Amino acid sequence: MRKPHLILALILSTVLPLFAEVRIHEIRTRSRAEGGKVDDSTVLAFVQNSPGDSFDPQLVNRDIRRLQETGRYSFVAAEIQERTDNSVVLTYVVEERPRLRRLSVNGGDHFSNARIRNLLELNLGDRVDESLVLQKLEAVRERYQKAYFPDVSFDVSLTEPDGEGFTALTITVDEGERQSVGRIRFEGNTEYSATQLKRVMMQKTTNIFSFITGRGRFDETLLRQDMSAIEEMYRRKGFLDVQAGPPQIEEGFGRRLHVSIPIERFQRYRVNSIRIEGNTLYPASLLGAQIPLQVGAPAATDAIERGRVAIRDYYSNRGFSQTQVREQILLAGGNRVDVIYTIQEGTVATVRNVIVRGNTRTKDHVLRRELLVAPGDTLNEVRVRNSASRLRNLGFFDSVNQAILPTEDPSVYDVEFEVAEGRSGQFLAGAGFSSIDSVVGFVELTQGNFDLTDPPRFTGGGEKLQIRLQLGTRRRDAEISYSKPWVFDRRMTLTTSAFQNERRFLSDDYNQRNTGVSMGLRKGLPGFWRAGVTYRLESIDVFDVSEDAAEIIQIEEGENYRSGLDFSLTRDTRNHVWNPTRGGRLVLNSGFTGGPLGFDTDIYDLGVRSSYFFPVVWDHVLNLQGWAQTVDFYGDSDRVPIFDRQFLGGARSIRGFRFREVSPVDEDGNEIGGQTSLSATIEYTIPLSEMFRYALFYDWGVVNSDAYDASIDDVNSSFGMGLRIDMPGFPLRFDYSWQDRNSPHNERDRGRFSFLIGYTF
């Protein structure tokens, strides 16, 4: 009868120690190196464990990391020795880095040995080992690579620590050959301009800003990859067998490399037939109409790929999700190929849930209102992709990914959008100069994901707040603006602003200060159109009027108050906002002040402005611009004030004339502006490189005294040439022009230089 008790006691004596608390009996230290010394007090000062504490492996790992972070030790580990009394002996094993007694650098030529020592950021007395020195040398390597020494190498030698724990470090530098690419040429290139091919290459040439950006460093790996990119460009024109390279590299002037890339095009293939297989839901004739490819046309790989996408999207738009399309290109004899699209048709599916993840700052409704898919909808992959694009265009996120997730029901899917929050706030400060504004400094603070209703964070609502201050020798501006992209639960943008703008460059006879507020609504319309209406209430102060100023200026001296509405209708089809090469922008505008809106000025205006871009050859671009504007008074007003009158001339209109020089004049020859202006520009730009374009232009314009006077009896025109430098965020425009036709009061024999920072449209 006692045996069960003995068995139970035996089990408990075996199992219970497994659940008993293990404590630290003793903490020791030792050196990893045989015979090495360890300062016990220093090690124990950085550990949290103590004798008698419960043993916790996580705390031990934390102690190891803390010792490593001191930089004192090159090796840190822990040993655990079990004792019979359910305790352990914990030993920290370390190897101290020796201290630096002497540092020598040899072999520096481009950078002096003293400069290399400074770049290393090592001082005598610092603790070092080989791994730390190699880590420090990465900063030196990066500096060498920016100076076009891609093959720089270093030999590191550390002496054995002496009895006091000190070592001597010797670094020998092998700089290698300086290699930067000064020129890239193409042999056998007939289908593209050199600029177009260089644009797809990752290997770049040096330019005047390379000392800042490091552009132009020779990279053999990138150059090999560029051969594939060039070949793909030619395949897009039907040269399916094209071969680019291998590149030939020679040393040119100034030890810069000249790269020559041979291109062997062979023959251009054309489409012999287009076949569609595997389709049961839609006829081949209907699907074939979606393909941007014709029989007899070049077998362009990008057009073939667009055909595959078009067929898949055709199915997806009709609810047949997960449709797969595969294309094949088969030789048909000679220079002809057959293009075959094989379809694996999907099934109609619906959306169960639309999941949004990762928006830790942006409110959920800000994302969901941009989505084109909702629970219960027929699954449409095109709408899913377009929804992701709309989220990217918000500008709040570093990345946006979409996924279509299967559920337990094969006809039902979840749609997931995962975003990564980016930086939506921006602070800018800088200075600029132009031939109109002179020297200008500015400070700008922008929050692109603002939320007026969420204090004190004020972020995550998808609104925009901008504060801008600008101070220069001839202008002073202060403005705060706020915009809300959705109002009344519609995709309609509300904008409000408060501003004060002071202009001292308008005339030698007066200065002008505008202070006011505005509120507007903008709405997108079908067909690239956008409509807008803005209400503006402002005070216009004309001050510092000279005694001999024209009468039309003198009578406006002092403050004038105005209340007005402006209307606009815009159509924008440009392929790029800042540097377009195709498409155009048309703006129709009208507005009025006073009348039923009250205050001092009763005027109205009508205008149209257009700018169209046409690709020519070799990446050349032709730009045609036109502008017509008329302004007139009505009601209680008997004139158009000086601040509403029309002027031309300067860097933004007719470049061969001074700013606002093209204008009717009074009997004393003072420019007093007109009520109707017409202008046009033709500009032809030629790429010199990715960043530089050469420009030839002709400007034409006339300003007439009366409203609706479109006569061209007093036309002024100029022609010239210029240089465009497209630096992101800092575009420069230099122009030199000569007068062609002019009014008698503004005749000029010599040319005029103009300079602008910014884009013009």
pLDDT digits (tens, 9 = 90+) for 478-517: 999 999 998 888 889 999 999 999 988 888 889 999 999 9
Q: Which pLDDT score, from 0 to 100, does residue 759 have? A: 54
Q: Which pLDDT score, from 0 to 100, does residue 5 have? A: 42
Q: Is residue 629 domain-resident?
A: yes
Both 150 and 195 in a single domain?
no
Both 294 and 227 in a single domain?
no
Give, for 732, the enclosing helix (H) or strand (E): strand 732-741
Pairwise CA distance, residues 203 & 216, whole Å: 7
Q: How long is the chain? A: 761
- What range does the domain containing 133 cover? 99-174
Q: At 266, list the tokens.
A: 């062979």
Percent of the chain with pLDDT over 70: 94
DSSP letter (8 states) at residue 247: P
Which range is least confidently modeled, 137-151, 325-339, 603-617, 690-704?
A: 137-151
H helices present in 200-275, as ranges? 210-213, 220-235
Both 523 and 572 in a single domain?
yes
Q: Is residue 129 domain-resident?
A: yes
Both 289 and 307 in a single domain?
yes
Q: Is the pLDDT of residue 12 over 70?
A: no
Higher pLDDT, 448 or 8: 448
Q: Is residue 495 domain-resident?
A: no
Both 48 and 191 in a single domain?
no
Pairwise CA distance, residues 574 & 602, whole Å: 36
Q: Is the pLDDT of residue 432 over 70?
A: no
Q: Is the pLDDT of residue 106 over 90?
A: no
| Residues whose CB falls within 8 Å of the CB of residue 750, separated by 6 or more in sequence, listed in order | 738
| 698-756 pLDDT tens trace | 999 999 999 999 998 889 999 999 999 887 666 788 999 999 998 877 777 788 888 87
SS3 713: coil
Q: Is residue 431 domain-resident?
A: no
Band (pLDDT 50/70/90 cuts) for residue 14 is very low
Both 290 and 229 in a single domain?
no
SS3 554: helix
Last residue of a domain, one of 370, 387, 421: 421
Q: Is residue 488 domain-resident?
A: no
pTM confidence score? 0.66
Q: Is residue 448 domain-resident?
A: no
Q: In whole angstroms, what separates CA 636 from the centre of its chain?
A: 50
Higher pLDDT, 336 or 166: 336
Pairwise CA distance, residues 679 & 702, whole Å: 6
Band (pLDDT 50/70/90 cuts) for residue 437 is low
Pairwise CA distance, residues 747 & 740, whole Å: 10
> What secondary structure does DSSP assign to 373-394, as a single string?
--TTSBP-HHHHHHHHHHHHHT
Taking phi first (over 0 means left), then psi (-120 to 50 degrees means alpha), and beta for anything else, what does residue 128 get? beta
Pairwise CA distance, residues 3 & 210, whole Å: 90
Both 683 and 534 in a single domain?
yes
Last residue of a domain, one of 46, 81, 96: 96
Last residue of a domain, one of 287, 312, 344: 344
**AA letter at 649:** G
Band (pLDDT 50/70/90 cuts) for residue 415 is very high
Identify the sign of the CA torsion 302, 304, 305, 306: positive
Pairwise CA distance, residues 294 & 274, whole Å: 8
Q: Which pLDDT score, from 0 to 100, does residue 152 have? A: 84
Q: At 50, list the tokens.
A: 């103590």
Q: Is residue 494 domain-resident?
A: no
Q: Is the pLDDT of residue 689 over 80?
A: no
Q: Which pLDDT score, from 0 to 100, does residue 16 have? A: 38
The gap between the terminal CA atoms of the chain, to the nearest Å, is 104
* Nearest-10 Cα torsion for 699, 439, 725, 652: -20
Q: Which pLDDT score, from 0 to 100, does residue 731 have? A: 77
Mean pLDDT for 429-453 is: 76
Both 375 and 523 in a single domain?
no
| 635-674 pLDDT tens trace | 989 899 999 999 999 888 899 898 888 999 888 888 889 9
* CATH number of the domain to which 354 belongs: 3.10.20.310
- How far is the CA of 200 from the CAs of 5, 130, 192, 193, in angstroms? 84, 41, 12, 12
Q: Is the pLDDT of residue 4 over 50?
A: no
Q: Is the pLDDT of residue 580 over 60?
A: yes
Both 562 and 600 in a single domain?
yes
Number of domains in the chain: 6
> What secondary structure does DSSP assign to 7-66, as a single string?
HHHHHHHHHHHHHSPPEEEEEEEEESSTT----HHHHHHT----TTSBP-HHHHHHHHHH
Which range is least confidently modeled, 84-88, 199-203, 284-288?
A: 84-88
Both 47 and 124 in a single domain?
no
Q: Is residue 590 domain-resident?
A: yes
Higher pLDDT, 6 or 74: 74
How many CA atoms within 13 Å lie on the side-chain side of 127?
A: 14
Nearest to 154, CA basis, from 163, 144, 162, 164: 144
Both 675 and 753 in a single domain?
yes
Both 549 and 664 in a single domain?
yes
**Residues 100, 128: contact at Cβ < 8 Å?**
yes
* CATH number of the domain to which 560 belongs: 2.40.160.50
- Compute the mean pLDDT over every residue in the chain, rounded to the nearest whole number: 86
Pairwise CA distance, residues 520 & 496, whole Å: 6
SS3 307: helix
